[in-house]
Structure 1
Amino acid sequence: MASTPSIPSHIKAWAYSEYGNTEEILKFESNIPIPDIKEDQVLIKVVAAALNPIDYKRAHGFLKNTDSPFPTVPGYDVAGVVVKVGSQVSKFKVGDGVYGDINEDPVNNPKAIGSLAEYTAVEEKVLAHKPSNLSFVEAASLPLAIITAYQGFEKVEFSAGKSILVLGGAGGVGSLVIQLAKHVFGASKVAATASTAKLDLLRNLGADLAIDYTKENFEELEEKFDVVYDTVGESETEKALKAVKESGKVVTIVRFGHPEAIFFIRISDGTVLEKLKPYLESGKVKPILDPKSPYPFSQTVEAFAHLKTNRAIGKVVIHPIP
């Protein structure tokens, strides 16, 4: 195995050993054994990591029947540099800048050592080379959200010339759904919902129609859409069914939606990131970072608190680590 000599045996990370609120259970640890890599994995020196709702839901115990054993270092999204490669790895070499969502299956046995650590061990197939024009902070913000966004389009067999309504257009996934609809899938019309202050952002991302959900009910629009992409859930899924054409489809990333909506869970896949690389490198699709990002590693607990308000715009990223 190719390796660099300066890899430590123990690492700094944020971890928890019981389920509960991140504010109470997440602790800074400075002596966690570094993960071993398997033949199909690389060891990454983490430069930046993004936070996702799945991280705090997992901490709450949502996945407790399928989770890995404690202690748990959270973090799905990573961007960093390869420092060691397994014997079967062919796509990457030591020194490569990479990014990805480190858990291929997000709910079954997610990694005990996630991306909120100095180093993490990750399968080659869920990683891609970092686009040259993106910083590590920007790259870390993308994988889980952009793969989710992309696979939702695949789920409903979206094609050029169709119209789409995006619920929650300013969020981590929604902001990428708008851009992919416009620049990758060739939507005829893109509508999206957000609060008053975020309407300009929707237009800048490519929305033809920006809907202020605090003042308008999208389900009462005369115009109906081929696809409604629900990133919000709760009562929205019910309304989404009223906003879709008779032959249209509602796709949702939020569990416990309406039975007529198509619910899916993304599967992390480096090939999706490679496929989207030209759009990222040309600047057609851009990462959207929350104005408070990046948070320093020491403020990870505060970063989670901000994410939980549901007021974040785009993605909350931690950098540098540590």
Structure 2
Amino acid sequence: MVTTNTIPTHPEGKTMKAVCFSSFGKDPKKVLEVKTIPRPFIISGDGDDGEGNDGTTTTTKSQLLLIKVHACALNPIDKIRLNGDLAAVKPEQFTDNNVLGYDVSGMAYGALSEYVVCSATEVALKPTSISFAEAASFPLAGLTAYQSLKRGGVKEGSKVFIPGGAGGVGSLAIQIAKSVFKAGYVCTTASPGQGTELCQELGADRIIDYRSEDFETVLKGEDFDMAFDTMHQGDKMGTLLKKGGKIISISGPPSIEAIEEGMGGSVGFVVKMLLFLTRNRKAEKAAEKAGGSWEYIFMKPSGDDLKKLGAFLERGEIKAVIDTEVDGIDNFMTAVDKLWSGRSKGKCVIKIIV
């Protein structure tokens, strides 16, 4: 299915600012720019199907929400999309208004803009105790961590390995494992100094300095219930697992099963062959050798899951972790530069309303 991003002209001629691109590119400075484009709106009438802001068929008007964006967070998938690395499984039809971003204080594809239209089933109310920037930093990374840990069977007392604990997903996964699933032991990796200090603050029980220690060697035979592959290292995690343990991956080549589950249907022959040839067999074999399993998953937008996690945010049992917070959409490149550098500790957020 080709992803179209055409926003029809607003019936009243209203416009908005958005960070757009009209071609793929490795250098965001060459392909990203702030543009004025039509403001999205909800076309469908009460009880009738219609066309949504992305040019696709939508459900009824009552199931859609127009959100005024206060803040938007960046994610590694934005870089992957901009590079064109998603094109094989999700082709992109270029227009003048392909909008970057997945995370807002709400959630939507093409979120780095002043307004977005979302499905009501994909959003949850912002906890009153946190800022809009904190709320925007949470949905994609938080849901990715929560759904991965759940798929990994993490429960009270579980022993979990979460590398990259200072990153956007890792920093939330540590907290969710401890606070939501009541894991008994969480081990992570981080750089010395600020990264290690952050992981300690988030509740990690053990932190391995990845610059001087190899986790595959250090943790061999420690019988983890789950290893969370956030950095395409699944092939090194088999020796960490107990029998029956699971490696859940969100990084590297996805499996055919993950793509079909994420898209809600079968993929074409060419894509299926590409996925078959690039399948992470080393990770699968490493898990099988330990008597465990390897699985790749994609996050699924879920208002119910967000609501559940929002209660922990409201009580302060989980906290958003922000590395960079930029004022104003025109200054978006500061946040992009930090994320693209690979050195961010937590999330990079652009405040649309300052």
TM tier, smaller: 0.7 to 0.9
Counterpart among 206, 210, 213 of residue 213 in structure 1:
210
Tell whether the 8 Å contact from 1:168 to 1:230 is kept in structure 2 after alignment. Answer: no
Tell whether the 8 Å contact from 2:34 to 2:329 is kept in structure 1 after alignment. Answer: no
Measured in 2, the distance between the counterparts of 1:159 and 1:47 equals 35
The amino acid that maps onto 2:182 is G
Tell me the CA shift for residue 244 of structure 1.
1.7
Give runs of ≥4 in structure 1 deviating > 3 Å: none
Tell me the CA shift for residue 293 of structure 1.
1.9
Q: Secondary structure at the match of 2:225?
A: strand
Counterpart among 21, 29, 33 of residue 27 in structure 1:
33
Structure (1/2) with the larger helix percentage: 2
Q: Secondary structure at the match of 1:151?
A: helix
2:333 aligns with: 301
Tell me the CA shift for residue 246 of structure 1.
2.7
1:316 aligns with: 348
1:95 aligns with: none
Measured in 2, the distance between the counterparts of 1:263 and 1:185 equals 20
1:284 aligns with: 317
The amino acid that maps onto 1:49 is C
Counterpart among 63, 85, 98 of residue 72 in structure 1:
98
Larger Rg: 2
Q: Residue 196 and residue 294 in structure 1: after superposition, are their counterparts in 2 closer, same or farther (change >3 A)?
A: same
Tell me the CA shift for residue 67 of structure 1.
3.9
2:18 aligns with: 13
Tell whether the 8 Å contact from 1:306 to 1:312 is kept in structure 2 after alignment. Answer: yes
Tell me the CA shift for residue 169 of structure 1.
0.7
Tell me the CA shift for residue 247 of structure 1.
2.3
Q: Residue 18 and residue 229 in structure 1: after superposition, are their counterparts in 2 closer, same or farther (change >3 A)?
A: same
Tell whether the 8 Å contact from 1:14 to 1:29 is kept in structure 2 after alignment. Answer: yes
The amino acid that maps onto 2:21 is Y
Measured in 2, the distance between the counterparts of 1:159 and 1:215 equals 31
Tell whether the 8 Å contact from 1:51 to 1:76 is kept in structure 2 after alignment. Answer: yes
Tell whether the 8 Å contact from 1:133 to 1:281 is kept in structure 2 after alignment. Answer: yes
Cα deviation, 1:121-150, whole Å, max 9, x if unaligned, reads: 111111100001010000000000010001
Measured in 2, the distance between the counterparts of 1:195 and 1:8 equals 50
Measured in 1, the distance between the counterparts of 2:30 and 2:325 equals 22
Measured in 2, the distance between the counterparts of 1:275 and 1:295 equals 29
Tell me the CA shift for residue 36 of structure 1.
2.3
Moved more, 63-72 or 52-61: 63-72
* Unaligned segments of structure 2, at least 5 residues: 1-11, 45-60, 254-279, 288-293
Measured in 2, the distance between the counterparts of 1:303 and 1:280 equals 24
Tell whether the 8 Å contact from 1:137 to 1:294 is kept in structure 2 after alignment. Answer: no
2:302 aligns with: 269
Tell me the CA shift for residue 25 of structure 1.
0.6
Moved more, 266-275 or 153-162: 153-162
The amino acid that maps onto 1:262 is E
The amino acid that maps onto 1:33 is P
Measured in 2, the distance between the counterparts of 1:170 and 1:295 equals 23
Under a length normalisation based on structure 2, what TM-score does the superposition of the two structures give?
0.76
The amino acid that maps onto 1:310 is G
Measured in 2, the distance between the counterparts of 1:29 and 1:15 equals 7
Q: Secondary structure at the match of 1:12?
A: strand
Tell me the CA shift for residue 35 of structure 1.
1.4
Tell whether the 8 Å contact from 2:113 to 2:352 is kept in structure 1 after alignment. Answer: no
* Unaligned segments of structure 1, at least 5 residues: 1-6, 80-98, 103-110
Measured in 1, the distance between the counterparts of 2:13 and 2:78 equals 26
1:43 aligns with: 66
Q: Secondary structure at the match of 1:129?
A: coil
The amino acid that maps onto 2:296 is F
Tell whether the 8 Å contact from 1:117 to 1:321 is kept in structure 2 after alignment. Answer: no
Cα deviation, 1:224-254, whole Å, max 9, x if unaligned, reads: 3111112111xx2211122222321111111
Q: Residue 126 and residue 179 in structure 1: after superposition, are their counterparts in 2 closer, same or farther (change >3 A)?
A: same
